[in-house]
Structure 1
Amino acid sequence: MTATLEPTAGTDAPTETFDSLNPATGDVVGTHPIASKADVDAAVARARDTADWWGNLSFDERAEYLLTWRSVLTRRIAQLAELSHRETGKPHGDAQLEIVLAIDHIAWAAKHAKKVLGPHKVKSGLLMANQAATVEYRSLGVVGVIGPWNYPVFTPMGSIAYALAAGNTVVFKPSEYTPGVGQWLADSLTEVVHGRAVLQVVTGLGETGNALCTSGVDKLAFTGSGRTGKKVMAECAENLTPVIIEAGGKDSLIVDEDANLTKAAEAALWGGMSNAGQTCIGTERVYVHERVFDSFMTEILSQAKGLRAGADSGAKIGPITMPSQIDVIRTHIDDAIDKGAHVALGGKDAVGDRFVQPTILTHVPEDSVGMTEETFGPTLAINPVASMDEAVELTNATSYGLAGAVFSKKRGMEIAKRIRSGMTSVNSVIAFAGVPTLPFGGVGESGFGRIHGPDGLKEFTYAKAITRQKYRPPMLLTSFARDPKTDARVASLITLLHGGKKTIK
């Protein structure tokens, strides 16, 4: 990616710019400014001014704006999908699918923010029975979002839509590989809110992201690599800015002996190969019960016939969007094969300059980098296991903990609950991402915090607790006028309430 200097309109000072490229062809899709720290700080200042208006709207008023935006995106879905296709290289159908999911999340957040975040009564307890207690969730102010390139609409929208519905304004730094998509989203909402700075975009490279981290936003949501996530946390720590980190995974799909092998193979193939394998919640490892391993391999290889990467209309898989990832994928494939993995499809020759053809390896050593580190390419490592206990043990033997899937007719839920991850699908793959009511996020090296659902709305708020005295308390505890008799009565009451041994029913 090459940065250039262009004259700024009306001034003699040059503005540094960069190009977004079509990864399938190398053609320039668009040219965008590299926002400086001063530019980022100015955007945050505008957002803070606008937050006074946006945050003071009622939930219903904000919902009306957001639902109008949803309708605008829906009517222009083909336009946005085409732009996403050009900047990421993914097929039009895949680009449309992530936009559809994002639209559904906008609608859910807009319609449910009032119920989740609005004031509601809570019980005061016997000691404070004279108090009426309420809690509500207030907007933070300005939220910063740093988004990824692999799903440039769906993934950042999980933070943007929920932060907006909660009453925050947003400053969004899209990936340098998909700046056009980010700007398109911001422009479309700006139309709806009549030019107000509710959602702004600052385009640029790593320095622009660093500037957003230190800009004084009230919270920052980041999606990307664990390595970059740690840098984001360090930069945000300067101002004690809280963060949400979604940092990828090394997810597995488990196939029990009673599973529907046709459906399990279909899910594994989609989970591993769709979007050229560039999916944080995608499938990279597959553990199959040894009793059905051969049958599973026959099925998945049959389904993989004709599946290929390319830029033509017949290709189901697009290019590798980030050029540097090509070397990572090549290293993982080579290391696995050199350590004894069997090549069932693809292999070392599958890695090209822009495209990686589907690759399936079996009997992959667990210590190979393709089993321990995120590959982010159209590859699957499929290993037989003697039992579901072994499958769970191997699945959990990773520092990541984002998502996963289980295929089993009888024990699906039982196995899913044993997996150390934030999300698991039973007899499907990635289904949780499309359910707006479910929280999305991981544990361990996969990050922390949640987007989507009620948890996602609350992530972009702070809890405001209020008590109101309804009548004079029989025992005034918060006063220097409290006497020994009152202390004795309090001790007797607390002993009566909590001193006895109770049986939990």
Structure 2
Amino acid sequence: MSDQGSAGGGAVGVLDSDVPSFVSYDPAGGGEVATFPVMTAARVRGVVDEARQAAGWWGALSWAERERRLLRWAGVITRGREELCALVHRENGKPRDDAFLEVFLAVEHIGWAAGHARRVLRSRRVGTGMLMANHAASLEYQPLGVVGVIGPWNYPIFTPVGSIAYALAAGNAVVFKPSEYTTAIGEWLVDAFGRANPDAPHQVLRLVTGTGETGAALCQSGVDKIAFTGSARTGRKVMAACAPSLTPVLMECGGKDAMIVAADANLEQAADAALWGAMSNAGQTCVGIERVYVVDSVKDKFIAELSARIQKLALKPGDGPDAAYGPMTMPAQVDIVRRHIDDAIAKGATAIVGGAEAVKAPYVEPTVLVDVPEDASAVCEETFGPTITVKGVKDLEEAVVLANATDYGLGSSVYARNGAMAVARRLRSGMTSVNAVIAFAGIPGLPFGGVGESGFGRIHGADGLREFTRPKAITRRRWSTPFEPTTFARNPKTIVILEKYAMVRYGRKK
């Protein structure tokens, strides 16, 4: 990666000294990774207009041809994984192996979207019912046209690909605005698509770069839908920018995910999963575990297991190959984590691991807070750092009530041998893993999304493909009948026949 933005997708180009620019930095060492232009609203509209022309060509391709080109993209990403993982480590901060897990999940989703689009979205016949029995009915899913994707910095490959791949598979062109903290990674992905399809007459995946103003410009550029991933606060701004043009939006926002641990749970597995859910990627995971509610009878054992595993695994952040996780990618997040820890301790919580001294910017060491009051910011607000709160509950009923006592509703986890599925169904979240954490994100066929402050709409799976289409209903009269109901010349016997039918089928049910 050069120190200047390359011509990724034909959208960035060589930097002009008269054009405002921004720099993405290495969060660990602070060095510059790359410089990119802050694209104006006019330039963003120009990119969208170019994508509109590309959408016509791309949408007219056969399912098989789009699948072939998407799998080429997955191939380029897979073969270039070492370069891409090194770039993720440098610009995002996560360890190389965690970067590869993100790459692997991304190409799995590309493959699923490419391979299942035809089955999910092809035209299908629909039953017509008695009233319209002389008609044939069909339903098909047509591409929207151009989809704008605003990506996050915490999972700069996996998360945006969850929108990009499904939108492309559905026949749309995509204009991608990555986070200003991980723009070089976004540029790499767009360039990879171009390298995978050098024979394409149009660029169907294009890049725009900039800060929040560029994202707002994309919302107002005439795209047919915006897929956004980020905080609920920023999500509201995106929705406001889209409102004047009634541009539909898909919102994948934050979470305050809870894990419930029953008395009969495998405590070793639960503790191990809680640590991964809370600490991996420095806790910067929207579906990471931030709260644990454990039944009182096994609370002490669970806490002891957590502490022992942190010591045994020597969980420490850093930039080297032995680090369990990396730095906080966004510098301002360090202050939020510090505030949450300080507030919890001030309100009576105990830090059995870490604590206030664990915050050593740009790193935060693992912190386990016990008996945090429910009104503390560490319980009420999204922390997005390598911390976890643990609270004892008298039973699973109380655990469910507390887990659901949040405005968020993204992911959740249940550890139990008996009754786990019943508990999972009662949790107010878009996704739940039983005896695991975040497993749903690794299954391409499952929809991903939340409720409440966690957003709405779904990526991944069949629902994710349909999210980037408009349903088109078509009816066709097959023959005429003397008993047409929708005409002023209607035969009086028509209503008599329909009334008798209604009575036979429904009128006798009580």
TM-score normalised per structure 1: 0.96
* Structure 2 residue corresponding to 1:216, chosen from 214, 222, 225: 222
RMSD: 1.6
Q: Which residue of 1 aligns with 2:38?
A: 34
* Structure 1 residue corresponding to 2:276, chosen from 244, 249, 270: 270
Confirm or deny that 1:283 pairs with 2:314: no
Runs of 5+ consecutive residues of structure 2 not aligned to the other structure: 5-11
Confirm or deny that 1:136 pairs with 2:136: no
Correspondences of 1:329-348 after superposition (within 5 Å): 329-348=337-356
- Displacement of 1:481 in angstroms is 1.1
* Regions of 4+ moved over 6 Å: 8-13
Correspondences of 1:26-425 after superposition (within 5 Å): 26-194=30-198, 196-305=202-311, 306-425=314-433
Q: 1:307 to 1:9 in 2, by over 3 A?
A: closer
- Displacement of 1:277 in angstroms is 0.1
Q: 1:334 to 1:274 in 2, by over 3 A?
A: same
Amino acid at match of 2:248: P
Correspondences of 1:6-17 after superposition (within 5 Å): 14-17=18-21
- Displacement of 1:114 in angstroms is 0.1
What is the distance in 2 between the residues matched to 1:160 and 1:206? 20
What is the distance in 1 between the residues matched to 2:482 and 2:368? 73
Amino acid at match of 2:262: D
What is the distance in 1 between the residues matched to 2:481 and 2:424? 50
What is the distance in 2 between the residues matched to 1:116 and 1:186? 26
- Displacement of 1:64 in angstroms is 0.6
What is the distance in 1 between the residues matched to 2:353 and 2:436? 23
* Structure 1 residue corresponding to 2:447, chosen from 439, 461, 467: 439
- Displacement of 1:496 in angstroms is 2.6
* Structure 2 residue corresponding to 1:484, chosen from 489, 492, 497: 492
- Displacement of 1:310 in angstroms is 1.2
Q: Which residue of 2 aligns with 1:19?
A: 23
Tell me the SS of whatever aligns to 2:142: strand
Contact 2:259 2:291 survives alignment (8 Å): yes
What is the distance in 2 between the residues matched to 1:388 and 1:75? 47
What is the distance in 1 between the residues matched to 2:355 and 2:187? 38
What is the distance in 1 between the residues matched to 2:400 and 2:14? 62
Once the two structures are overlaid, the 10-residue window that deviates more, 430-439 or 184-193, is 184-193
Q: Map Cα deviations across residues 440-494 of structure 1 (whole Å, 9 max, x no partner).
A: 0000010000000000000000111111222223511121211433233333322
- Displacement of 1:433 in angstroms is 0.2
Amino acid at match of 2:103: I
What is the distance in 1 between the residues matched to 2:89 and 2:361? 19
Amino acid at match of 1:310: G
Tell me the SS of whatever aligns to 2:245: coil
- Displacement of 1:124 in angstroms is 1.2
Amino acid at match of 1:248: G
Contact 2:24 2:183 survives alignment (8 Å): yes
What is the distance in 2 between the residues matched to 1:455 and 1:477? 36
What is the distance in 2 between the residues matched to 1:191 and 1:46? 19
- Displacement of 1:79 in angstroms is 1.0
- Displacement of 1:11 in angstroms is 11
Identity of aligned residues (%): 56
Q: 1:393 to 1:456 in 2, by over 3 A?
A: same
Q: Map Cα deviations across residues 352-385 of structure 1 (whole Å, 9 max, x no partner).
A: 1210111001011111011000000000001111
Q: Which residue of 1 aligns with 2:8?
A: none
Q: Which residue of 2 aligns with 1:458?
A: 466
- Displacement of 1:10 in angstroms is 9.6
Amino acid at match of 1:373: E
Q: Which residue of 1 aligns with 2:7?
A: none
Runs of 5+ consecutive residues of structure 1 not aligned to the other structure: none
Once the two structures are overlaid, the 10-residue window that deviates more, 292-301 or 426-435, is 292-301
TM-score normalised per structure 2: 0.95
